[in-house]
Structure 1
Amino acid sequence: MPFSLLLAAFLLLATCTQAQRPDTTIIRYNGLLTGQYTSGGVNRMLLTTTHSVTFLRGLHFGAPVNGSFSYGRQDNLLKEREFLFNATPYYWLGHFRAYGIGGYERSNLRGIDNRIQLGLGPGWAFYTDSLGREVSASNLFIREATYFQDGSQRIVSRSSLRLKLVYSKGVFSLNSTTFYQPNMRNFDDYRVNQLSTLALRFTPRFAITANYTYTFESRVLEGKPTDNTNLTVGVAFSTK
């Protein structure tokens, strides 16, 4: 075999080996800004921004970090000022996932000064592919401390069942996550969260999005709503 062909084969093999090194680190970012404005019978303004950074290390480790902030006024009065942050590092092997979670939340809407969550548990990916499409479920056991605006506090253990769907075809993509979190000692005390984002991508990095969020909490302070629904439209920026 000519020397040039041997050299080309060696360079190709080295490139493939380097691309598959187990110590490779990949960072992915996605930012979303949505808003809503209505006037007339009810004057309402709502702005929401969501950011996520995912760190992928080697062949088996990942660490998604997510944060969101919402600000809403109704008839010139502050109604919503919501902040949520969570990190969910995980280990995967085939379809199996092992998750950890750390979360922090503040909510004017539900009268929460501070909420802290720590937990861990298993998960299973029913379907994944090279395009990032995914159908998965996980069930984490979390310890949660909530400090309310009236000075009361509550510390409970919860089961956190999560269903996740990520689908894309052409310029359209759908990302949907649903949480069901009952108190492990009293299943009448539970929380449901649902977030869905439908995106129309018009460049590799920018997309127009429709964002739907729903939150229900069975136990809230007196005078606070148990549920909240928002539907907003905005733009998203992402890297791959």
Structure 2
Amino acid sequence: MGFTVLIPARMASSRLPNKPLADIAGLPMIVRVAQAARASAAERVVVAADDARITEACAAHGVQAVLTRPDHPSGSDRLAEACTILGLDGEDLVLNVQGDEPLIGASMIDACAALLRDRPDCVMATVAHAIDDVAEFANPNVVKVVLDSQHRALYFSRAPIAWWRDGFANGISRLPMPAPLRHVGLYAYRARFLRGFPGLAQAPLEQTEALEQLRVLWHGERIAVHVSTARPGPGVDTPEDLARVRALFAASASGAA
């Protein structure tokens, strides 16, 4: 079963204005993300944009894009509209690759798609990897996930989870065992579920944690989790992140020369 990669992209960003068009080694970031996704086994890669400047940049570099409404409250809502535009429905597999992940690995995309294909008990799949740094474990910007015995998500949180009974005795000074898991914001959906997702009531836990995937669990659906041995490349949220990714692309180019 093939799959489609959808990449949500919007111009508004408080920390990095016009982020999708930020230059990375001579190309807009959104084009770099699409190129990375094309290295996967996806049948097609489509950008779901909120602004004609993004679709124009994609067209200039041979990337398929659709223009969606600018008022969507989340990336999932934007992708649901893109599914309608593209005629994706039923058991069609859709991969949500974030528009600020120009270093996303093709093997990670393929593993996430394959997991959902093989898990009819789940409406979604996502990815996690082991945390090996105490600061990362304590960071509320790093989302953690805990799993059940079938590698389905039990809960996602910005708090350090799982937490051992006596952990508060010395503060967050070491990692629990087994290693906690960092959630990677890569999602696979069955198109029917994705198209219906915006109609689901928001979950109180989702509002508390500011984590949209908790709506899925709150409504009794299941999310399969692929535990990767590899970490994804850094994403781009701030000017500092952009500088780091630009340096990585420059180093890669000089190494290939």
Q: TM-score range by the shorter chain?
A: under 0.3
With normalisation by structure 2, the TM-score equals 0.21
| More helix by percentage | 2
The answer to which structure, 1 or 2, has the higher relative contact order (CA under 8 A, 6+ apart) is 2
